[in-house]
Amino acid sequence: MASKPLNKANLTALGAEVLADLLLEAVKGDAARQRRVRMALAADEGPETVSADIRKRFAAIRRAKGFLNRPSQKKLAQELTEAIQLIETRIAPTAPGLAFDLLWTQLHLAEGIHERTDDSWGTIGDTMRAAMQAIGEIAPHLTLTSDTLAEQILEATLADGYGAFDRAIEVLAPALGPEGLAALKDKATAAFEAPIAASDLAHYDYGRPSERESRARQYRSSTLERILQDVADQQGDVDGWMAKYTPEQLAYHTIAPDAATRLLDAGRAEEALALIRTALAAQKPDQRSDWHDPRELDDAHFACLSALGRKAELREALWARFEARLCPDALRHHLKLLPDFEDIDAEDTARAIVLAYPSMTKALWFCHTTQDLQLARQLIDARYAELNGNVYEILTPLAEELAPNHPLQAALLWRALIDFALTQQRKGRYGHAARHLQSCAEADTRISDYRPHLSHAAYLQALEDTHAHLAASKRRN
């Protein structure tokens, strides 16, 4: 007799008493699951009761000292995520101030948690970012005085060593308002001259006392500068935001796009364009290589030209990016800006560029991205010998796309994948190679002419001749 599937409808049909017994049995000996059940029970008793349970758990996490291995870290992150959801759904709607206080407390747990675990996977960081995002949803409903909130942000950010409060000013700007932002600016400016406290030195308990103080002051100054920059950003003060950087730094490809965007938003397109052109000119040859694509810099350049109505220059810049990187978005944008009928000739020229592009892998990626399968067929026919069977992330989906109407070219891609796996003895890919070989057999029934390539039967024989040692080894094992 077939058993019923384990789903909500079938479980509900069991009735409350049976489910309660099953739940008690399931959570027996599992403290984490018991806490989840207790919080769910408390959720119907009002925000204060839920809040008390959450605070109790936060206090336990704060006191804990043991190292968290990967499974324990994931379990804690899941628990904190569920706490955020509980705060958002059960507390925030009726008590936003209380919800904010709980989420703020959770963010303060970040340092202690990070100090006893390796967050290489970003699990804890993601959870803290979720808490800050939840604060952003609550921010418009907070009734804290702007001065109090500014003080809390300043204190938390200065003490933050793991980035938990990095977005505090951004998400709390609606609650701060103009007065709060001004108050935060004043407090941060005054803090530059404040004496270094013992708590500031606690993070630098090595080296001579004078060196410790120097490091602490340097950290405080850089943090205060970032606070002032974030405040300026929220106030729409572009010059205040840019003041943190030297002219040379503003030309960095990592900074120039953000600066240009802010200048554009402030209606200063000419300044934005000048800044971007300086940044583009500062790019070294190796910074324009295939592995390093300063896309944000190019996009900011396009935005500047568009804002200034320089269509001819914009078309040239878009085409230059396409030629250099086979960027589909740049080509599409370029074609849209062309007069009627000129786009047809441009498309033909673009295809010729793709066919002759130095990197066949990049050319195939373009065909896959734009779904130009006719172009992919031409490319494979012309440059089959250049196929790189290691780029399975491009060849595998492209082969599947080609198979219905271009089975020969699909088979050639599968063969490249098979040959690479066998020649390089990538044992982890042998299963995939077997499936690709089956796909080649299926494509063979629809291929009437292999032209200069081996037929499927001949290819199988070649595989057997070339890799007979693999088959022999498999038989021995």
Specify whether 377 is located in the same domain as 440: yes
**Exposed, middle or buried by CB within 10 Å (0-12, 13-18, 19+), for 51?**
buried
Residue 417 lies in a domain: yes
Specify whether 256 is located in the same domain as 331: no
Specify whether 289 is located in the same domain as 373: no
Residue 143 lies in a domain: no
pLDDT in tens, 213-258: 788 888 889 999 999 999 999 999 999 999 889 999 999 999 999 9
Specify whether 329 is located in the same domain as 391: no
Report which of 392, 367, 391 is spatially closest to residue 381, judged by C-alpha positions.
367
Q: Helices H, strands E: what count in the chain?
A: 27, 0
Residue 68 lies in a domain: no
pLDDT in tens, 5-39: 777 777 777 777 777 777 777 767 666 666 666 66
Taking CB atoms within 8 Å and a gap of at least 24, the contacts of 252-260 are 252/279, 252/282, 253/279, 253/283, 253/287, 253/294, 253/296, 253/297, 256/297, 256/300, 257/296, 257/297, 257/299, 257/300, 260/300, 260/303, 260/304
Specify whether 405 is located in the same domain as 327: no
On whether the CB atoms of residues 166 and 203 are closer than 8 A, the answer is no
More confident residue, 373 or 291: 373
Specify whether 347 is located in the same domain as 388: no
Least confident range from 69-78, 100-109, 196-205, 382-391: namely 196-205
Least confident range from 10-14, 146-150, 246-250, 366-370: namely 10-14
Rounded CA gap, 310 and 232, in Å? Answer: 30
pLDDT at 289: 52
Residue 259 lies in a domain: yes
Specify whether 396 is located in the same domain as 434: yes
Residue 225 lies in a domain: no
HSE (side-chain half, CA atoms, 13 Å) at 124: 25
CA 176 to chain centre: 29
Mean pLDDT across 344-351: 94
Place of tokens 């005054």: 190
Report which of 48, 50, 163 is spatially closest to residue 113, judged by C-alpha positions.
163
pLDDT at 318: 97
Residue 411 lies in a domain: yes
Specify whether 451 is located in the same domain as 374: yes
Count up the domains in the chain and report the number.
Answer: 3
β-pair partners for 117:
68
Rounded CA gap, 437 and 198, in Å? Answer: 68
Rounded CA gap, 231 and 157, in Å? Answer: 13
Question: 329: which residues sit within 8 A by CB, 6+ positions away?
Answer: none
Residue 431 lies in a domain: yes
Residue 176 lies in a domain: no
Specify whether 470 is located in the same domain as 408: yes
Give me the percent of the chain exceeding a pLDDT of 70. 89
pLDDT at 290: 56
- Boundary residue ending a domain (356, 390, 420): 356
Specify whether 408 is located in the same domain as 423: yes
pLDDT at 477: 43
Specify whether 338 is located in the same domain as 410: no
Specify whether 253 is located in the same domain as 265: yes
Range of the domain at 452: 362-476
pLDDT in tens, 401-438: 999 999 999 999 999 999 999 999 898 999 999 999 99
Q: Give, in order, the Cα–Cα distances in Å from 75 to each of 30, 68, 79, 97.
A: 12, 10, 6, 28
On whether the CB atoms of residues 178 and 147 are closer than 8 A, the answer is no
Rounded CA gap, 381 and 151, in Å? Answer: 67
